[in-house]
Every structure is written in C-alpha cells, then in structure tokens.
Amino acid sequence: MKVMENEEEKLDTLLHELIKTVPELTGSEMLTEKIMQKIKEKTIYRIPAVLIWIRAVSGSAAILLLGLFLFQQNETTAIASTPKPSGHPEIRINIDSMCLKNLNSPASNIMALYMCHLQQNSIKNKLYKTIDQQLKN
C-alpha cells in the first residue's frame, strides 16, 4: 500500500513538472508564414458561401421541377386514357380493341384493320337506326 502511495506521489510530482514545462514553438514566424502560404493556395479553391447557397437552391428547384414534370406527365396519361365524352358518337373514330387483338401485325394488315373498323361501325349504325326507329314509333 505504501509502495502504491509512493508511486502515486511520484506520478503527481512528475505530472506537475510536465505541466510546468511547456513545449515552446521554435520558429513560430516561419510556421505562420507557411500556414498563410498554404491558405493562399487553398483560398483559390475555397467555394464562396453564396455559391454554396446558389447550388443548394438550384438543386432543390431542379428536383421540384422534375417532380412536377413527372406528376404532370402522369396526369396527362390518365386524362388521355379516359374516354372523351362526345356529342356525335357517329363521327368518333373508335378502333375496336377486339380488332387489334385479333391482328398479329396491325401495321402490315392495315386493310384488314380498316375492314374490321367499318364492320364495327356498320353494327353500331344498325343499332342506332333500330333505336331511332323505336323512338319514332
């Protein structure tokens, strides 16, 4: 126990001496010059705070605009896919999806597609005529 106390005392004395002996910087002016020289070199590359702000704001604006554009695109697709109400159904060109499904290559068989379309229209016309007749009666 006494040995331990002795060691503690030794350590405290040593620490006290080490605190008193401050390592002094020799050639401090030269070191300052070196630091300032390095800083001058770095200053060229230091980005001004305003530029950082401009970058941040324009970055956020770009993301916002991209989001808006994607949202708008989605909306347009949704509107285009919904059938438009029309007061003249007889002049509406409606290519039947059934006709398209039956065709393997619609581009090469455009006549068949057109015939199918005409057939569909004639069916509709007949239907309209029947309704018209019924209404007149």
- Interaction of residue 14 with another protein, rule CB under 8 A: yes
Region near another protein per CB under 8 A, out of 34-42, 61-69, 112-120, 121-129 = 34-42
Contact with another protein (CB under 8 A): which of 22, 79, 80, 111? 22
Contact with another protein (CB under 8 A): which of 2, 40, 84, 101? 40
CA proximity to 117, closest of 97, 131, 137:
97
CA proximity to 98, closest of 75, 123, 74, 77:
123
- Interaction of residue 1 with another protein, rule CB under 8 A: no
Give the 3-state secondary structure percentages of the chain, helix then strand then coil, rounded to 5.
75, 0, 25
Contact with another protein (CB under 8 A): which of 1, 43, 107, 134? 43
Region near another protein per CB under 8 A, out of 31-39, 60-68, 74-82, 83-91 = 31-39
Could you give the C-alpha distances from 62 to 53, 54, 69, 101, 119, in angstroms and in order?
14, 12, 10, 42, 51
Write down the least CB distance from residue 15 to another protein, Å. 5
Region near another protein per CB under 8 A, out of 13-21, 79-87, 112-120, 129-137 = 13-21
Residues whose CB falls within 8 Å of the CB of residue 86, separated by 6 or more in sequence, listed in order? 92
